[in-house]
Amino acid sequence: MVHNRYDELEAPLRNGTLFIADCDGGVDARYKGNADLVITTNRDIEADLLFELQALERVALDVLAAHGPNPRSVQRMGAAALELASRLAVSLGLLQTTAITLGLPTRVIDAGSGGRRRFRLADVAGIDARLAGGVAPSVAELASEVGPLVGWTPAQKARIVGSARGVGQTRCTEHRTQHCLICLRRTQCNGHHLVDAISIVLSARHGARIGSVELNRALRVAADRSQLGSWGVVRRARAWEAGSGMKVIA
Ligand SMILES: [Zn+2]
């Protein structure tokens, strides 16, 4: 969407407009290196808040404070929760992007509104109980839950799982490892899935209840302002400010 708007405006008309877009797992090379188009480091702003600004560490201290013996162990619980949630969000993200790439359905009927929307973690039956053991369900297990809801045939499900596994098994160029959580979460973690996953993990593993909406709000408030300067989005927005003489960051 942002990219379409960016394309619609010719360069002279873009003067004075700064575009900020979610990376969404990959951006066409022609959008890179433009001073007036800032792209998130991770898939989207929510994922950037969690990974680049250490927002969860602060929220975890608050949410988990009553569930651990001391601040150090609470911090460790928070870090472990983020890792488990990341693995879960990576698997769900992989499943969704692979289905989209293969042109297969990803929409379910929302029980609340009756409208159609992309599948999410809440659609996976018994996800709380599965996470209580500290292990994220595999892509294949998630596909078995989601498949009947979106209408994949067994053959389609097998194609999606095979293809998604292939992405996970591909050796990353930066760390030269398979199943690299650092790289996969950058390309596959959708921030909304991640916030949902953290909310479920905190509840299932630690009995700390905070809904996704409330958690999302808390993460935005908690993003460490002292680290804003090293966040790629802010760094590039500041470079644009210096070039344009305009101000967008408070
Ligand atoms: Zn890597």
pLDDT at 26 (0 to 100): 67
Q: Where are the chain's structural domains?
A: 1-41+231-250, 46-225
Q: Over 90: is that where the pLDDT of 102 sits? A: yes
- CA 197 to ligand 1 centroid distance, Å: 22
Closest to 248 (Cα-Cα) out of 37, 9, 17, 92: 17
- CA 185 to ligand 1 centroid distance, Å: 9
pLDDT at 95 (0 to 100): 95
Q: Over 70: is that where the pLDDT of 87 sits? A: yes
Which of 75-84, 117-126, 158-167 comes out lowest in average pLDDT?
75-84
Q: Over 80: is that where the pLDDT of 83 sits? A: yes
pLDDT, the chain, mean:
85
- CA 243 to ligand 1 centroid distance, Å: 33
Cβ burial of 86 (10 Å; 0-12, 13-18, 19+) is buried
Read off the pLDDT of residues 200-228 as tens digits, 9 standing for 90 and up: 999 999 999 899 999 988 888 887 676 77
- CA 176 to ligand 1 centroid distance, Å: 6
Residue 250's pLDDT band (cuts 50, 70, 90): low
pLDDT at 55 (0 to 100): 80
pLDDT at 148 (0 to 100): 95
Average pLDDT score over residue span 242-250:
76
Q: Over 90: is that where the pLDDT of 192 sits? A: no
Average pLDDT score over residue span 84-102:
94
- CA 51 to ligand 1 centroid distance, Å: 15
Residue 27's pLDDT band (cuts 50, 70, 90): low
Q: What is the pTM of this model?
A: 0.79
Q: Over 80: is that where the pLDDT of 51 sits? A: no
- CA 208 to ligand 1 centroid distance, Å: 31
State the DSSP string of the chain: -HHHHHHHS-GGGGTT--EEE--TT---GGGTT-TTEEE-SSSSHHHHHHHHS-HHHHHHHHHHGGGSSSHHHHHHHHHHHHHHHHHHHHHHHHHHHHHHHTT---EEE-TTT--EEE--GGGSTTHHHHHHTT-PPPHHHHHHHHHHHHT--HHHHHHHHHHHHHHHHSPPTTT--TT-HHHHHHHH--HHHHHHHHHHHHHHHH-----HHHHHHHHHHHS-GGGGGGSHHHHHHHHHHHHH------
- CA 173 to ligand 1 centroid distance, Å: 7
pLDDT at 1 (0 to 100): 60
Q: Over 70: is that where the pLDDT of 9 sits? A: no
Instruction: Give one word for 40, left, alpha or beta, with left for phi > 0 and alpha for psi -120 to 50.
Output: beta
Q: Which residues surround ligand 1, an ion (CB under 5 A)?
A: 172, 174-175, 180, 182-183
Higher-confidence residue of 94 and 238: namely: 94
Tokens standing for residue 198: 């953290």
- CA 178 to ligand 1 centroid distance, Å: 8
Which of 16-30, 93-107, 108-122 comes out lowest in average pLDDT?
16-30
Q: β-strands 107-109, 116-118: how paired?
A: antiparallel
Average pLDDT score over residue span 16-26:
71
Q: Over 80: is that where the pLDDT of 18 sits? A: no
pLDDT at 119 (0 to 100): 95
- CA 181 to ligand 1 centroid distance, Å: 7
- CA 16 to ligand 1 centroid distance, Å: 36
